[in-house]
Amino acid sequence: MSEEWQPVRVPRFEPFAAYRYPSSEDLATVTAPPYDVLSEADVRAQRANNPHNITLVDVPLASDAPDPYEHAASILASWLEAGVLVVDERPSFTLYRMEFRDSAGHDRRTVGVLGALEVVDEGGDGVLPHERTTPKAKTDRLDLTRATSCNLSPVWGLSLSAGLTELLTQPGELLSEMIDDAGVRHRVERVDEPSRVDRIANAVSANAVLIADGHHRYAIARTYRDEQRASTGSRQTSAELVLTYVGELIDDQLSIDAIHRMYHGIGAAELTARLRGSFTADDAGNIDLSTVVSEMDRRGALCLLRSDGTGAWLTPTQGLIDNERALDGAYLERALSGTDVDVTYQHDVHLVADQLARGEAQVAVLIRPTGIEEIRRTAEERLLMPPKSTFFTPKLRTGMAIRPL
């Protein structure tokens, strides 16, 4: 007997009544980059911008109070009481637009929608990871979610639904806009007209959503959901969904940078020797960091970078290309499999060079950005990329919309 056909499960995507900063607040000084790209010094600099900066809630510091998470929750409550944050009168979606110049020098415009995406079980269908994640032992995000009962910063999802961008093109109610330190213009608009809300919700819910950024946040949402199920006995609470930005998985809506590999405890000569057989190495002399990524694309090669600023072009052998996915990270994993190497990650080539010069790593390998074809293949074939395969830019600002739980 043939196996009974089961429909592919698709995720719920719903509007919500958001907490927001009123238009009287300067978004540039109250919102902030995502918590996971901020150092403690960055956090203090953000807080110096405005006494209502979102990092006071979203990035608790040990020095804030004996219990920094409860302290963050008390600040959030006081802001709601004082009108620093206001509550939407009814559920809505938030259109989030960005205008920027990408790393190749092209002017770009993107749009996605902030809403509440269903939290599905690990390994379930509907919401899919796109890369293997590195372990994170810290419970910071879970402790913060428990204390504040809020989703403060969004997961970034990619929708397989064709035509989603067209549904988001028409403006909504302008709430605010700002330009960040990198020159990126961020603009948020509210959509609460019922028929348009339904069209957007139905479009996102028609296909799987691929998690582009925020895998850890999504995993924490799953843990929190399970806690709420256990404590309430219900599967109908707001913890069943999580704050998510969803954009369409198409070229003109994505700007993807590479995340380069930095190796510790191994010198350039030894690393080159370990890569031999999988790559051919050709001397590159002094590396021009301003053109290295385009030169890598032209050559079809990776670039080994030494602490003195010199490097070598690493060209994958045909055997490696034939037996591995078209991902530089996968090429390196295959070439170094079975060897014990300590690797960390950095997306900015100039920071890579600075860290090498300071001796914080011994050698680095610069890789090329992942193509959208491989990202789509990951979704359609339910595959996983190596850790840190993609760096989506620009980063979404935290504080544009907060979702209460």
Whether residue 327 has pLDDT greater than 90: no
Residues written for the chain = 405
* pLDDT, the chain, mean: 91
Mean pLDDT to the nearest integer, 108-120? 96
Whether residue 70 has pLDDT greater than 50: yes
| pLDDT one-digit tens code per residue, 384-393 | 777 777 777 7
Token digits for 326?
């078209």
**Among 212-216, 355-359, 385-389, whose mean pLDDT is lowest?**
385-389
Mean pLDDT to the nearest integer, 4-24? 82
231 CB-near residues (< 8 Å, 6+ apart): none
Mean pLDDT to the nearest integer, 270-297? 94
Higher pLDDT: 4 or 298? It is 298
Mean pLDDT to the nearest integer, 168-172? 97
Give the SS3 label for residue 65: coil
Task: Give the model's pLDDT for residue 2.
Answer: 40
CA distance 339 to 106: 40
Task: Give the model's pLDDT for residue 134.
Answer: 59
Q: Where are the alpha helices (DSSP H) in 50-132?
A: 55-58, 68-82
Looking up tokens 């998985």 gives 249
| pLDDT one-digit tens code per residue, 185-211 | 999 999 999 999 999 999 999 999 999
Domains of the chain and any CATH numbers: 13-256+392-404 (no CATH), 259-368 (3.30.1760)
Whether residue 323 has pLDDT greater than 90: no
Cβ pair 374, 258 in contact under 8 A: no
Whether residue 136 has pLDDT greater than 90: no
The alpha carbons of the chain give a radius of gyration, in whole angstroms, of: 22
- Specify the amino acid at residue 317: T
Higher pLDDT: 370 or 400? It is 400
Task: Give the model's pLDDT for residue 133.
Answer: 61
Nearest to 69, CA basis, from 18, 7, 139: 139
Higher pLDDT: 57 or 126? It is 57
Which residue(s) pair with 387 in the sheet? none
**pLDDT range class, residue 307, cuts 50, 70, 90:** very high
CA distance 35 to 47: 13
**Among 26-30, 86-90, 320-324, whose mean pLDDT is lowest?**
320-324
CA distance 290 to 307: 17
Mean pLDDT to the nearest integer, 346-357? 92
